Amino acid sequence: MRSESLCSPAFFYDLCQHEPSLWNTLLGRYVLHRNKGLCRVKSVDYTAGKAEEWNLLLKADENLPRERGSRNFFCAPSAFEGGDILQADFTEEVLEKMLLRIEKEIRTGYAIPDSFPFLPEKPPFSYLLELRTKGTLHPYCMKWLKRKELFQAAALCYEKITSASGQFASSASSCWRSALKPERALIVTASAASFDTRYQSSAFCSRGGAFKDIWQKSGSVSDLDQAEACGLRAIKTATSKTAHPYNLLAAVYYYKRDGRKCAEYSQKAFELGSVQRAFFKSHLLVDMRTASAL
C-alpha cells in the first residue's frame, strides 16, 4: 500500500461511523492490522446502524506465519479510531467523492441549499448522517438549522423522529409554519387527538396556529373557526399551565373582532408568564385599550 496517498484510519472512522454504506467500500481492500499484519476485508456486517455492533471480517495475508493465529477474524470499526488498524487502502480523493454524493443526497432530502457549506468532519453534516442512519437528532443540529433559518430542513428532521406518541410533532409543525408552509403543519398534527396526553396540547396549539396562518391567506371564516377550536382543545388537554394557547385565542378573537374575549385571553396569557400582554400587541402593534373597545 502506498502510504502517501492514503487517508488515516481515524479520518475514515470520523467521517463514516454513521454511514454504513461507506464501510462497504472497504470490501476487498487491504488494511494493516497492528497484530495480524496485512489483511483483506472480506465482509462488512452491521446491525441497526449502530457503530458498536458493526463488524469487519478480515482475512490475514496468506504469507503470514501461522503462529499469529487464525487468518480470519472479526474486527470492530472502532479499531480504526483506537489504533489497531494502522493503515487502510483508501485514498482521501475517493472518499471525498463518495462524501460529495452523500452530501448531495442530504441537501436534497433536507432541503438545504448549496449556499450553506458543510465540513464533513463537523456538525451538522455528521449529525444529519446520524439522523439518517440511527434516527437520532442532536440538539446542536436543530439550533444550527434554525439559526440559519433553514426551517424546512428543521421540519423534515423533526418529522423523521416524530413517533406515534406525537413527540416532536408540534416542533415539526412550528418549523413548517416558520417555513411559510402551514398546510404541512396540519398534516403533521392531523392525529393530535390520538397523541400521548403529554403532547396533545402543544400539537393542538400549533395546529391552531397553522389554521390561523392559512386564514390570513384565504380569509375563510372556517379556518379561523378551526383555529379557535384547536386553541380551546389545547387548553382542555394541557397537562400544565402555559401561555401559548391563550395567546393563540387572543389573536383569534382579535381577528374575529371580539374585544372582550381578546382581552380576557390576553390577560390569562400575561398571568401565565407571556412576555407580551397579548399576541396581537406584540405582533400587530395594537394597544390593549383599543382591542377592548372593539
Residue 80 and residue 218 share a domain: no
Q: Same structural domain for residues 265 and 201?
A: yes
Region 114-132 average pLDDT: 73
Q: Give domain status of residue 112, yes or no.
A: no
Domain check: are 143 and 82 in the same one?
A: no
Q: What percent of the chain has pLDDT over 90?
A: 31
User: 39 has which bridge partners?
Assistant: 31, 60
* Residue range(s) defining the domain that contains residue 37: 3-90
Separation between Cα atoms, residue 277 and residue 266, nearest integer Å = 6
User: Is residue 245 within 8 Å of 279, Cβ to Cβ?
Assistant: no
Domain co-membership, 166 together with 247? yes
- Check whether residue 259 and residue 207 sit in a common domain: yes
> What's residue 294's pLDDT?
43
Residue matched to cell numbers 412550528: 174
Q: Of the ranges 64-73, 105-114, 162-171, 190-199, which one carries the lowest mean pLDDT score?
A: 64-73
Number of domains in the chain: 2
Give the CATH number of the domain where residue 175 resides: 1.25.40.10
Q: Is the C-alpha dihedral spanning 194, 195, 199, 204 positive or negative? A: negative
- Where is the domain boundary, 90, 117, 141? 90
Alpha-carbon Rg for the chain, nearest whole angstrom, is 27
260-281 pLDDT per residue, tens = 898 899 889 888 887 655 445 5
Residue 101: pLDDT band by 50, 70, 90 thresholds? confident
Of 284, 210, 286, 279, which is closest to residue 250 (Cα–Cα)? 279
Enter the pTM of the model. Answer: 0.68
- CA-nearest of 105, 146, 141 to 122 is 141
CATH (domain of 58): 2.40.10
